[in-house]
Amino acid sequence: MSLTEKKLKIAFNVRCLSSSKVRGISRYTMEILKHLSDKVDFYFFSDRDIDESLLKGIQYKNIFITKKYNHFYWEQVIVPFQCMKVGIDVYHCPSNYGTPLLLMGKTVVTIHDAIDFKIGKLPLLINFYYFLTKTFSKHFITVSHFSKADIVSCFRINPERITVTYEASQLNLLNPVVSERETREFNLSEDYFFYVGGWEKRKNIKFLINTISQFSAEERPTLVLAGEKNESIYKEIQEYVKNKKLTKSIVLYKWISENQLVSLYREAFCFVYPSLYEGFGLQVCEAMQFNLPVITSDRTALPEILGNDLATFSPIDQMQLMTLMKKVMLNKMFYNSLVDHSNRRKTFFSWDKTAELTFDVYKKMKP
């Protein structure tokens, strides 16, 4: 950008930054803001309080927080009015839907996946929000070519209106050693397969547990599952593991800190991801950042992100996954090839690239 060129004025919906627990959409939002705040002038909008500690290191002009109206009125009246006062060039919503009609020529929406249309029936109001989004948004961003094809199919929109920008890992490998308080519950003396993420049905956790149960007692590996926020799901899985008599082989952790996550990745033997549906699969990138061998489901976006067909399995075939796990455990040459693959593949993903492609979208949208 030349010294005389004016910065773009970007209005950004930051309501997803209301919680200090950062994963998924909130992480995506933070990384985009962090990597672009020296290139554009950001104006932040929310209809609820945000955790301003999440904005550390991010430059911005102003935060407009308006809480006294319902969400629809805030989005359709308050946001466009304030944006027009500022004279914004682009309005960016990072959370799948949200298009103020009065800004329809300036709105870009990041749709991370089309899972809302694949699993269950959407509430009428959410369907309406999606209708406004697909009809009146100027451009879309999504996180994989699989998601792009899915969105085109579900929304019946021109693929030229969608730009793919891969996500990337943000974990700090240089984090200090975690505190004794954070690590005292970790008592993992053996090599272990590791999974982190949600435990809802599409994540296929029970399939993974059932696969572990197929191993003989002598061969059975240790599996660590982490990351669940929902107490009822956690208790359900805990009871399931107990009923399978696998409490000595499967270790369960709820939500973990970033330091704890780094520690578990560092010490893991292999990362396993059996999900039935992912628009991207950020954990795959995180695991590869640690040069960790990764094996994933062969469904949806996961093969695209992993980039190694030799390390994928059917998420409905326990024997296929068990065979692949045994190969990782017993075949040193295969194990080392997965390590090498992660070391090479991780360079393909970076937030710098993601931010640059996002900036290109902004520039093309400016009248």
Q: Residues 301, 277: contact at Cβ < 8 Å?
A: no
Using alpha carbons only, give the angle 352, 86, 70 rounded to the nearest 5 degrees.
90
Tell me the C-alpha to C-alpha distance, in Å, between residue 81 and each of 47, 75, 175: 14, 10, 43
Mean pLDDT of the chain: 92
Lowest mean pLDDT among 73-87, 174-188, 228-242, 284-298: 174-188
- Residue range(s) in the chain whose domain bears CATH number 3.40.50.2000: 8-168+350-365, 180-348
Strand pairing category for 8-13 and 40-46: parallel
More confident residue, 238 or 121: 238
Please report which confidence band the pLDDT of residue 220 belongs to, taking 50, 70 and 90 as the band edges.
very high
CB 350 within 8 A of CB 170: no
> Residue 175 has what pLDDT?
52
CATH of the structural domain 180-348, one choice from 3.40.50.720, 3.30.70.3150, 3.40.50.2000, 3.30.565.60 = 3.40.50.2000
User: What is the structure's pLDDT at 342?
Assistant: 98
pLDDT at 162: 97
pLDDT the model gives residue 116: 87
Would you say domain 8-168+350-365 falls under CATH 1.20.120.330? no
What is the C-alpha separation between 282 and 197, in angstroms, rounded?
9
| Residue 239 region by backbone torsions, left for phi larger than 0, else alpha for psi between -120 and 50, else beta | alpha
| pLDDT per residue as tens digits for the range 331-362 | 999 999 999 999 999 999 999 999 999 999 99
Residue written as tokens 């208790």? 235
Nearest-angstrom CA–CA distance, 260 and 120 = 33
pTM metric for this prediction: 0.90
Q: Give me the mean pLDDT over the 76-83 stretch.
A: 96
**What 3-state class would DSSP assign to 60?**
coil
pLDDT at 20: 73
Do strands 192-196 and 222-228 pair parallel, antiparallel, or not at all (unpaired)?
A: parallel
The alpha carbon of residue 256 and the mean position of all alpha carbons in its chain are separated, in whole angstroms, by: 16
Residue-level pLDDT at 184: 46
pLDDT at 3 over 60: no
Residue pLDDT, tens place only, 141-172: 999 999 999 999 999 999 999 999 999 998 87
CA 307 – CA 16 distance, rounded (Å): 30
| Position 177 pLDDT exceeds 60 | no
Indicate if the pLDDT at residue 217 is higher than 70.
Answer: yes
- How far apart (Å, rounded) are the C-alpha atoms in residues 281 and 260? 20
The predicted structure's pLDDT at residue 239: 97
pLDDT for res 1: 52
Residue 216, both tokens: 């003989």
> What confidence tier does 366 reach under pLDDT thresholds 50, 70, 90?
confident
Residue/partner pairs of 335-339 with CB below 8 Å, 24 or more apart: 335/270, 335/293, 337/310, 338/270, 338/293, 338/294, 338/295, 338/308, 338/311, 339/291, 339/292, 339/293
Element (H, E) at 221: none
Kindly give, in sequence order, each residue whose CB lies less than 8 Å from that of residue 154, ignoring residues fewer than 6 positions away: 114, 117
Q: 95-141, pLDDT tens digit by residue?
A: 999 999 999 899 999 999 999 888 778 899 999 999 999 999 999 99
pLDDT band (50, 70, 90) for residue 179:
very low
